[in-house]
Amino acid sequence: MGTAFMIIWGIALLAIAALLAVLAWTLKRASQQAASIEKDAGEFEPTKEILLFEYEKEDVRNTTDGNVIVRIRSISWDTGWQEDLLRLEVHAQDPKSVMLSDEWRDAQVIAAYDFRAYRMTEMGTDVQVASFPAPIEVILTTPETDTNLDILIQADGIWTSAPEARISAEEFALKSLGRREWRAAPVDRLGRLCLIKY
C-alpha cells in the first residue's frame, strides 16, 4: 500500500509539473505575441481612399478620417470630361518616407499623400488625368493645434511650398472638424503632397 501511495503521488506531481510547464510556455508565447502586436501598431500602414466627383455638383469630398478635403469646381473640368465621373485616389504614405531638402530641415512631416485622378468614361474605361484646366483645392488637416503648417508639393523630385488657397472655413464646412488645424492649396497637377509643421 505504501508503494502504491508513492506511485500515485509521483504521477500526480509529474502531472502538476507538466501542467505548470504548459502554462509557463503559453504565458511566454502570449507575452511575445502581445509585444509583436504592440511593435506592429507603431508601424505605418499605407491606405487608399477613393473620392468621386460629378461635374454638375461641384462637391466637396473628404476622406473618412477627415485628413484630406478636396473641392473640384466646374471650371476645373475640361469640356470633354463633363459627362464622365472623376475618381480621385488618395494614397496615404509614411511621413518618414519623405526626404526634405535643407531648406525644410527644421520642419516635421505630419502627413504625406499621393494623389491620382481618373476619368471614368461612359465607355467603361479609365483615363488618367495628368492636369486640370484650373486648379482644384486640396485641404490637409491635422489634430495637432497651435502649429505653423505648410503644404509642400513634389515636382521632379524636389519639394516646394505650394501656394496658399484663399478660402474660409465656412466654404468647406470645416466647423465640423472641431479644433483641427488645416492648410489649403490650389493644385492643377496631382502628385505627391505633404503637410509639414515648423
Which residues lie below 8 Å from residue 86, measured CB to CB, with a gap of 6+? 52, 53, 54, 55, 72, 77, 117, 118, 119, 120, 129
Other beta carbons within 10 angstroms of residue 38's beta carbon come to 9
The mean pLDDT values, 10 residues at a time, for the chain of 198 residues are 74 78 75 57 80 85 89 90 92 92 88 95 87 93 84 90 81 63 90 92
Going by their DSSP bridges, the two strands 108-120 and 85-93 should be labelled as antiparallel
98 in Cβ contact with 109 (< 8 Å) = yes
Closest CA to 153 of 114, 110, 180: 114
Q: In whole angstroms, what separates CA 13 from the centre of its chain?
A: 56
Grid coordinates of 128: 488618367
State the pLDDT at residue 39.
47
pLDDT the model gives residue 120 = 92
Strands 158-161 and 181-187 turn out to be unpaired
pLDDT at 12: 77
CATH code given to domain 47-197: 2.60.220.30
C-alpha cell read off for 147: 502649429
Question: Residue 136 has which C-alpha cell?
Answer: 482644384
What does the domain layout of the chain look like in residue ranges? 1-43, 47-197
CA 135 – CA 141 distance, rounded (Å): 19
Residue 175: predicted pLDDT = 55
The answer to whether 145 touches 102, Cβ cutoff 8 Å, is no
Mention every residue, 6+ apart, whose C-beta is less than 8 A from residue 156.
Answer: none
